[in-house]
């Protein structure tokens, strides 16, 4: 097979250009690992996913995820975006409102609510744990945080498959005005084997409860437009500190405005303590990829 169905979607977005882009190859059976990596490098998008037939009755499909540099065990926006593409292509249907994604991170359910443009999809993320609670005076964090006005919670290192340092800032205005110290963030990411710093602040906006900025320090340095996995680790951290916004376990965050996007991610911490990360998805490109 040389022609394979191919789509590009915008994840955590109610309109094209607002969220985080993703490429999805829907007929990936027969592609080698090297070919998948080459396609992911070619698309130049944050991630490219490859959909494969399920191998067990309790999963809807299999998935492989690749950044332009390497295979990724789990990420939130590729999971949500791939589920949207699978539904549109008719490759799977929800059972009791759920799809089940089978990948390196195991079998993860995705909750599907609604239909069409207003449909939301949320993935139950791998359990995140608190690896370390630090102080702003920690030598590893000093150069990262020295010009950031901090909020009430202490900085923390969370591990949810990918490690993120989290820091609360005193206000949404301070967060949005912040200039990330890229050299310091890169050093922190390298020295602590983390992605970098996810900074957040409380908001009085009627749509979202938190504003979030995720600064990736390694292997490249960039600001993530919308990160389902980073926000899932943040939700787990807030839950561990009894600091979730609202009173129902559900809240929305705003991310990406500083890099030209306007994503809204919905987070839910359920009664079992699991975190669901999701939102809307828009399909922007439909076609075929010819990779021979």
pLDDT, tens digit, for every residue of 236-290? 999 999 999 999 999 999 999 999 999 999 999 999 999 999 999 999 999 999 9
Rounded mean pLDDT, 197-202: 98
> Could you tell me which of 11, 4, 3 has the C-alpha nearest to residue 283?
11
- In this prediction, residues 11-16 reach a mean pLDDT of 97
Instruction: State the pLDDT at residue 161.
Output: 85
Looking at every residue in the chain, the average pLDDT score rounds to: 97
Mean pLDDT of all residues in 137-164: 96
Angle ∠(174,178,181) on CA atoms, nearest 5: 145
Question: Across residues 51-73, what is the average pLDDT?
Answer: 96
What pLDDT is stored for residue 1 in this prediction? 67
What's the whole-number mean pLDDT along residues 196-216?
A: 98
Residues 189-218, mean pLDDT to the nearest whole number: 97
Task: For 18-59, give the DSSP string.
Answer: SSEEEEEES--TT--HHHHHHHHHHH-SS-EEEEE--SSTT-
On whether the CB atoms of residues 89 and 53 are closer than 8 A, the answer is: no
- What is the dihedral angle through the alpha carbons of 138, 143, 146, 150, rounded to the nearest 10 degrees? -60
Is the pLDDT at 233 greater than 90, yes or no? yes
Exposure on the CB side of residue 33, measured as CA atoms within 13 A: 4
Whole-number Å distance between alpha carbons of 25 and 36? 9
Provide the pLDDT for residue 107.
97
Q: Which pLDDT belongs to residue 2?
A: 84
With bands split at pLDDT 50, 70 and 90, how would you rate the model's confidence at 189? very high
Instruction: Kindly state the DSSP code that residue 116 receives in the 8-state scheme.
Output: G
């Amino acid at each position: 097979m040389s022609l394979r169905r191919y789509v590009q979607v915008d994840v955590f977005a109610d309109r094209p250009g607002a969220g985080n882009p993703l490429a999805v190859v829907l007929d990936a059976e027969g592609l080698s690992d090297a070919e998948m990596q080459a396609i992911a490098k070619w698309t130049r998008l944050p991630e490219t996913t490859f959909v494969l037939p399920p191998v067990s009755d309790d999963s809807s499909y299999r998935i492989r995820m690749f950044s332009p540099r390497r295979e990724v065990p789990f990420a939130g926006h590729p999971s949500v975006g791939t589920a949207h593409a699978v539904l549109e292509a008719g490759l799977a249907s929800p059972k009791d409102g759920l799809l089940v994604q089978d990948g390196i991170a195991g079998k993860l359910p995705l909750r599907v609510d609604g239909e069409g443009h207003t449909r939301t999809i949320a993935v139950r993320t791998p359990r995140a744990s608190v690896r370390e609670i630090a102080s702003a005076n920690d030598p590893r964090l000093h150069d990262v945080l020295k010009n950031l006005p901090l909020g009430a919670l202490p900085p923390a290192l969370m591990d949810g498959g990918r490690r993120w340092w989290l820091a609360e800032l005193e206000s949404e205005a301070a967060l949005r005005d912040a200039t990330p110290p890229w050299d310091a963030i890169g050093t922190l990411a390298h020295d602590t084997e983390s992605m970098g710093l996810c900074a957040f602040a409380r908001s009085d906006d009627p749509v979202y409860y938190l504003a979030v900025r995720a600064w990736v320090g390694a292997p490249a340095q960039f600001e993530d437009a919308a990160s389902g996995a980073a926000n899932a680790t943040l939700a787990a951290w807030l839950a561990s500190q009894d600091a979730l916004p609202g009173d129902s376990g559900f809240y929305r965050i705003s991310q990406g405005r500083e890099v030209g996007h306007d994503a809204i991610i919905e987070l839910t911490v359920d009664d079992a303590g699991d975190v669901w990360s999701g939102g809307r998805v828009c399909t922007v490109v439909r076609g075929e990829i010819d990779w021979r």
